[in-house]
Chain A
Amino acid sequence: MATQEYGKPIDILLVEDNPGDSRLAMEALKESKLRNNLHIVTDGVEAMDFLYKRGKHAQVPRPDLILLDLNLPKKDGREVLAEIKSDPDLKRIPVVILTISKAEEDVLKTYNLHANCFITKPLDLNQFVTVIKSIEDFWLTIVKLPSQ
């Protein structure tokens, strides 16, 4: 299986403005077999500051995986996605879109912008935890992530 499970912890950046969803994701990931650090930012501007290590994010690690909501304050998730995927240094970081949107337009647009996958957040609590665990299983144990 993928070797990243034996090395240093995986750094995950969650871009999510809903504190309830962040908390659930955090709890689901804490139970993980794999060591991971979850970093949470609540809007698109802060997400870009984190990725470019600007301001108070000067010391943060580069994330190995990004979980990105679409509807965010200040800077929309679609814009964040477009910026990441057109930046030669950042574009290789896998971006999982995690949104309440089910709109066909969002699905097509985000794949066209090179989102790595699109997941509609289930409203049911248990289903939401199942989804987070699936993301973890798949991206942290099956997939080989691009290391830095």
Chain B
Amino acid sequence: MNTENMGKPIEILLVEDNPGDARLALEFLKEGKIRNTLHWMRDGVEAMAFMHRQGRYTNEQRPDLILLDLNMPKMDGRKVLAEVKSDSDLKRIPVVILTISKSEEDILKAYDLHANCFITKPLDLDQFFKVIRSIEDFWLTIVRLPRE
């Protein structure tokens, strides 16, 4: 399929305050066919520092894909999304919203802020696995990512 995504591993930034969910995503993505490196940030402030390569993140690469939770400490996911999508250097990075929220207001607001897609995290483990697998299949093999 999409050979442009082969080659160097895809850098995925996961912004998630729940360690259980982060761990599951990490394990599921490790099993994936496509080589990827998952960077886990626990809050919005740390996520922005990572993307701007500030502080201890100066040597990090810019992520190819962002998985973003909405409800987080320090800096909310909605704010992170708004900052990413209005920053001329960052806005092209696809942002997948991955949240327990099903609220219509959150869905509309996220799309209005140019989220690339909105996914409600299922509570069931098998379904959560299926969702992570689908994200990987779609974004890493079907879609052409904007890579540096």
On A, residues with C-beta under 8 Å from B are 1-2, 85, 88, 91-94, 102, 107-108, 111-112, 114, 116-120, 122, 127, 130-131, 134-135, 137-139, 142-144, 146-147
Interface pairs (26), CB distance under 8 Å: A1-B122, A85-B114, A91-B112, A93-B111, A102-B4, A111-B93, A114-B91, A114-B114, A117-B116, A117-B138, A117-B139, A117-B143, A120-B2, A120-B144, A122-B1, A127-B1, A135-B142, A138-B138, A138-B142, A142-B131, A142-B135, A142-B138, A143-B117, A144-B107, A144-B119, A146-B107
User: Smallest distance from the beta carbon of B92 to chain A beta carbons, Å?
Assistant: 4
- Contact residue among A1, A118, A143 (Cβ-Cβ distance under 8 Å from B144): A118
B146 & A107 in contact (Cβ 8 Å cutoff): yes
**Contact B117 A94, beta carbon cutoff 8 Å:** yes
B106 CB to nearest chain A CB (Å) = 9
Told that A93-B111, A130-B1, A138-B117 touch, could you supply 7 new A-B pairs with CB distance under 8 A?
A91-B112, A112-B91, A118-B143, A119-B143, A120-B144, A142-B135, A146-B118
Interface digits, B125-148 against A, CB 8 Å rule (1 contact, 0 not)? 001000100110111001111100
Chain B interface size, as a band, is 20 to 34
Q: Which residues of B contact A (CB under 8 A)?
A: 1-2, 4, 85, 91-94, 102, 104, 107-108, 111-112, 114, 116-120, 122, 127, 131, 134-135, 137-139, 142-146
* Chain B interface main SS type: mixed
B118/A144 in contact, CB under 8 A: yes
- B146 near A144 with CB under 8 A, answer no
- Complex CA–CA separation, A147 to B138 (angstroms): 22
